Structure 1
Amino acid sequence: MRLGVALDLSSQEPVRPQVDRTVTMLARAERHGFDSAWVGESYHAASQPFHLPSALVILGHLAGRTSLALGSAVLLLRAYSPRKLAYEAALLDQLCGGKLTLGLGLGSPEVAQRVGLPASGPAGAAFDATLKLLRAAWSAEVAIPPPLQRGGPQILVGGKVPASARRAATLADGFYGATNYCDDLLFKQSTAYWSCRGGSGGVVATTRFCVVHEDAATARELAARHLKAATDYYTARGSWLGAGGPAELELPMVGTPDEIDTTIDRYARAGVTSVQLRVAPFGTPPEVARHTLDLVGRHVLPNWHGTTTSDATSPTTTAETTR
C-alpha cells in the first residue's frame, strides 16, 4: 500500500501563499515517508473551496520544490487538446525526474466550454482515442522532449460505470476512485478492474479526506468543523456516489491511528493499492493538518512500508502480503 497526500488548493484565496504552505506541508510528509503529492482540478464559474484550474501548472511549480512523486487526481480531458496534453505531460515528467502519474477523467461539457474547446462527440470513444494518442506520442517520441519515463507516465482513469473499469484495465495502467466515491462503489470498481486485468500488474488508487487524532471523538469533531466547506461542496451537488447511486457522506479516514490502519487494511483487501490523504482542505488549521500527518507518519505508515509495489497483482495477492 502506497500513501500520498492530496492537495486542496482553493480559488477563494490567493494562490501563491497556499502553494507555499503546501510545500512546507509536503516537506513534513516526505520526512514521514509519504511517497507522493496529488493535485486535482476544476473549472468553476465562481470561487470554490477547491480545486484550481490547470493542475499541470501547479504540478510544474511543485516539481522544483519537492522530491515527492507527483500525480493529477484528476486532470479533466475536456479542458485539453490531446496533442498539447501529450507535450505538456512529457515536459512535466522531465521536470519531476520521471515521477509523474497522470490521473485522467473526462469532465463535463461545461468544462470544455469554459476553456473554449468543443464538447461534441461520443464521450467514451473520445476518451479511448486520447489514451491511445498519448501512448503513441510518448512511445514514438513524437513529443519533444519526450517523457523521462520510457513509454510515458503511468495513466490512471476513473469513472463510476463498468466501462470505466474496463478502460482503466485495458487502455491505462490503473483505476482512480474520486473522493466522492463511497467505499462500496470504490470496491465494486476495484473488483471489476482486477477482473478485466486478469489479476496481474495494476494500480487502484483513491483520495480520501483525513483527520486523525489520538481521541476518536476529537477526530470526528475536528472533521465536522474543518471539512465542512469541502464536504458541503459535494453534498450540495448530490455528488456522493455509492454502488447503487447517490449516497450519504462517508469519512472512513477520520479517527485514531488504529482506526485508520484498520481502514487501510480493508482497502488493501479490496484491491486498493494507493491512497491519497486530503489532510488540509480549505479552512483546516495548519496545526490540525500537521497533527494528522504526524500521527499517520509515526503510527500508520510504518505498518505499510514495503507491503506492495506500485504494480500490484490482484486483491487476493495484495491482501496476503499486506500484514
Structure 2
Amino acid sequence: MEFWLRYDLRSPEFAAPVSALAQTAIEQAEWADTRGFAAVQLSEHHGSADNYNPSPLLLGAAIAARTKNMRLAPVVIVPLQDPVRLAEDVCVLDQLSMGRVELTAALGYVPSEFEMFGVSMKDRGARTDRALQVLRAAFDGRPFDFDGRQGTISPRAHSEAGPPLFVGGSVPAAARRAGKYGDGFYPMTGSEGMIGEYERACADHGRPVGPIITAPPPNYIHVSRDPERDWERIAPYVMHESNSYAQLAKELGQQTPYAEVETVDDLRKLGTYLVLTPEECIDYLRPHRDKHHMVFAMLTGGLDPDLSWESLELLAAEVVPVLQADAEPGASS
C-alpha cells in the first residue's frame, strides 16, 4: 500500500482563505516528500461556492518546485479542456517535475461546469475520446490529427514513454476507454465490477492490463491523540464536505457515500469519516494492505491548517513507518 496526500483547496466562508490553504498544501507536500508518502493527488471542480480548486495542474507545478520524490497525480476533467493545450500543459508539468506526473482523465458529471465552458454534456464522451487520443499521441511522440487539426506536441514529456495515463470512472465506457487509451484504470467508488470490463478492453486493443488503482474506504481519516476531542474540532469542516457532496448528488439523482448531516453523532454513524489514534489507524489499514494506496485528504472542507498538521505529523511518525515495515520481505504482523 502506498500513502498519498490529496488536496482540493475547498475554502468555505468559515475556513482559512484559499491562499493560506494553498500554502499549507505546498508546505505539507514538501515536508512529506521525504517521509514515506508516494504521491499527491490534486482534484478539479469549477464554479464551486466554496472555492474548490479549478486548476490542479497549476497547483501541481507549485508542488513540483518544492518536491523531488512524490509523484504528482492530477485528476483532470478532460472534456472541459482544449486537448492540445491540455497535452502541452501536462508535458510541461512532467518536465518541471523531472518525470513525476501521473495523470487521471475524468469525464466530469456536474452540468453547471459544462455550462460554464459552453460544452454540452451530450458531447462529453466524444470530447473525452479526442482528448485521450491527443494525450496518447503526445506521450508516444506521435503527431495528432483530429477534426482537421494536426501537429506535434512540443516539448515532449520528460518521461520517455510519457506520464502514466489513467482513465477514471464508474461506468463501462470508462473501463473501455482505459483499455483502449490508458496505462491503467481508476474505478471510482462502487465500481469495482468494472475491472473485468477493463481487462476485456485491454485484450480487445492488444494492450497489457495496467495498474488498477483501488483504495479502501472510508473517504477521510484524521489521526489524533484524542479522537473524542478532535471529532468536535474537525466537525464543521467534514460536515461541509459531506453536505456539499450529498446535496449535489441529490440534485443529480446520483448515489453517493456522503449524506447530509447536522451533528457529530450523524458524522460518526455515517462511517465515511474516521478519527483514529495512531494505533487504531494501523489496525484499520492493515487488512487493506493489498490495496493500491490510501489517500489522506489533509485539508478536507478547508480544515484548519494547525489541525491538519497535527494529523499529518502523527501519521508520518507513527503510522506510515509501521505499515511500511510490515510490507518488507520477511515481516510479520
Fold similarity call, TM over 0.5: yes
Aligned residue in 2 for 1:99: 100
Which residue of the other structure, out of 271, 279, 292, is the alignment partner of 2:311?
Answer: 292
Moved more, 160-169 or 143-152: 160-169
Paired amino acid for 2:114: A
2:240 counterpart (229, 233, 239): 229
Shift of 1:202: 0.8
* 1:260 CA drift (Å): 2.8
Matched, 1:40 2:40: no
Contact 1:26 / 1:37 at 8 angstroms: preserved in 2?
yes
- Take 1:3 and 1:34, find their aligned partners in 2: how far apart are those partners? 5
Residues 1:203 and 1:23: Cα distance change in structure 2 (over 3 Å): same
Distance in 2, matches of 1:29 and 1:69, equals 12
Q: How do 1:188-267 and structure 2 match up within 5 A?
A: 188-189=193-194, 193=198, 201-206=210-215, 208-238=219-249, 245-249=255-259, 250-251=271-272, 253-267=274-288
Of the three residues 1, 24, 30, the one matched with 1:27 is 30
Gap change, CA 1:282 and 1:135, over 3 Å in 2: same
1:277 equivalent in structure 2: 296
Q: Which residue of 2 aligns with 1:113?
A: 115
Counterparts of 1:170 and 1:233, CA distance in 2: 34
Aligned length: 300
1:173 maps onto 2:192 in alignment = no
TM-score between the two structures when normalised by the length of structure 2? 0.76
Residue deviations 1:17-67 (CA, integer Å, cap 9, x gap): 3322222222332242212222111111x531x522122122122221223
Relative to structure 1, is the Cα distance of residues 43 and 169 closer, same or farther in structure 2, using a 3 angstrom cutoff?
Answer: same
Percent identical pairs in the alignment equals 25
Does residue 1:82 correspond to 2:103, yes or no?
no
Which residue of structure 2 lines up, in the alignment, with residue 18 of structure 1? 21
Tell me, yes or no, if the aligned pair for 1:9 and 1:52 is still in contact at 8 Å: yes
* Counterpart residue identity of residue 280, structure 1: L
State the one-letter code of the partner of 1:213.
Answer: S
| Residues 243 and 258 in structure 2, CA contact (< 8 A), matched pair in contact too | no
- Checking the alignment, whether the CA contact within 8 Å between 2:171 and 2:191 is kept in structure 1 is no
Are the counterparts in 1 of residues 10 and 302 from structure 2 also a CA contact under 8 Å? no
Give the AA of the match of 1:159. G
1:230: how far off?
1.6
Q: Alignment RMSD, CA only?
A: 3.5
Contact (CA 8 Å) 1:219, 1:256: kept in 2 or not?
Answer: no
| Gapped regions of structure 1 (runs ≥ 5) | 309-320
Equivalent positions of 1:137-148 (< 5 A) are 137-140=138-141, 142-148=152-158
**Aligned AA (1:8):** D
Deviations 1:175-211 (A, max 9, x none): 3355xx3xxx154455765676689541314593221
Shift of 1:240: 12
Asked whether the 8 Å contact 1:204–1:274 carries over to 2, the reply is: yes
Give distance in 2, aligned partners of 1:268 and 1:162. 27
Asked whether the equivalents of residues 229 and 282 of structure 1 are also in contact (C-alpha less than 8 Å), the reply is: yes
Q: What amino acid maps onto 1:172 in structure 2?
A: G
Give the TM-score, by structure 1 length: 0.78
1:132-172 deviation line (CA, Å, top 9, x unaligned): 32111221252111001122111222222233234334431
Alignment-derived partner of residue 156 in structure 1:
166
Distance 2:225 2:11 in 1: 32
Q: Is the 8 A contact 2:105 2:166 kept in 1?
A: yes
